[in-house]
Structure formats: C-alpha cells, structure tokens
Amino acid sequence: MRLPETIRLVLAAAIAYLLIAAGVPAIGALLHPGTWPVVPSHLLKICLFFIVVVVLLYGSSDEKRWRRVRSELHFFFGAPEIRVPRLAFIGAVCLLGAYIAYDAVRPGFEMPPELRSIHPAPPTAFSINGKTYDLLTLKNPLRADKSAFSANVRAGGEIFFKNCFFCHGDKLDGKGPFHDAFFPLPADFRDVGTIAQLQESYLFWRIAAGGPGLPKEGAPWISAMPAWHRFLSEKEMWQLILFLYDFTGHEPRAQER
C-alpha cells in the first residue's frame, strides 16, 4: 500500500531531523568513546528550517507529485466524511501551539538573589603543581610572541571547544548546552563587565584554581568552575586566555604600576 504523498514528505522531514539531532551525537560518541556531543539548539532550528525548505522544493519539483499533494490536502481539509479526524488534528495542533507559547512566557520559580562578588579578590600569589605564581607581576608569556600568536590563539580555541564550550557556549556568551544546569550561570565573556575589566593574570588564577581555589573569605562563592590546572598545562591555559580575548575583541586590562 502506497503512503499518501503528504505523509511521505512529512516522514522524510522527520527522519532527516532525527538523523541530525541523534545521528551527529552518535557519530561523535563513536569517534570519542565515553562522550555524547550535544548539537546546539539554534543549529537544530536552522537545520529544521532548511529541511522543510528542501522537502517543499522536492514536493513541488514534479507536477504529478505536486498535484497529488494538493489533492490530498484538499481532501483532508474539505472532505465532509473525515470531519471529526480533521477537527481533532486541528485542535491538537492548536493545543500544542498554545502550550509552547505558555511554556515560553510562564513565570519560573527562581532562587532568591544572593549577594556575591562577581570578581572575587585574588591572592597576591598562589601555588599549583609545586610552582608559585606572583599575580602582581605575572604576565602572559605567549602574548609577546607575535610570530606564533595566531597558532597559539588557534590552539586556545581548540582547548575551549573541547573543555569550556559546554558551559560558556560556542559564542562565549555563557549559554552553552549545559549552562542552565548551573546557578549562577556561566560567565558571558562578551560582556564588557567580565574579562574586559580583568588582567590576564587574574584569568590565569581563576582558570587554574577554579571554584575550589577561591579564597575562603566571603564564601560561599557558588562557582562550578573546575580547577583546570589538573587537566591543562600552563601553556594551554595561557593559549586559552589568548583565545578568549581574541574571539571577543577585548583587550586585557593593563598591569597597574
């Protein structure tokens, strides 16, 4: 039994969407065992738009096929013998749209605001992996190497998208795939109130020490930042910092004299 042409087009669009939504993460899991990559929601919406466009172009590219589609639509929306199923379908679509609209605007139950410092005061020095860093004089050793600057920024980008993208997002706006699982939300690096106000030495300390390395004064800091010195080398952290400033177009705050 041949399926109606309209049903076939709808199924083709649904299968294409599922291949992207579930197939891409599955391929990523095969290439990197133990992980399950997440396709950003905005990319899924863009893909869905193009899928619908391609399906409509395919359906109308052949005159016979397009006549079948139009006759099926005319039958569904005009035949009196299927009045009840038609009304049920239209009602279901309306209810779904109403729920989506309601879910987008309904008020949420948020935790009450809590006074906290956005940029906690750093120590004058800190130690990791047996090495002590003086934050008053610490500078990014890679910034002065102009010949390798682009390569270091590119390496920093790779580090970011392998480790930090899931929270801070592919646009560095703090809206990664897992961002809404944290309170407070991950930092928006594009905001002029974040890294644009900070020295590179401060970023090095925050990245290396993470939430566990924040000073006890003024706690709780409520930071989910891992202590990245356990996973990244010193050079990799400096490369990551170069990428953050280069991508956002900000300049690091100069050392005070």
183-214 per-position pLDDT tens digit: 678 888 988 888 888 999 999 999 999 888 88
Distance between CA 151 and CA 157 in Å, rounded?
A: 10
2-56 per-position pLDDT tens digit: 788 888 899 999 999 999 988 888 888 888 776 677 777 788 889 999 999 999 9
Please measure the distance between the N-terminal and C-terminal CA atoms of the chain and give it in whole angstroms: 82
Q: How far is CA 240 from CA 22, 139, 165, 193, in A?
A: 30, 14, 12, 19
120-136 per-position pLDDT tens digit: 788 889 888 889 999 88
Model confidence, pTM? 0.55
Which domains are delineated in the chain?
Answer: 5-105 (no CATH), 125-248 (1.10.760.10)
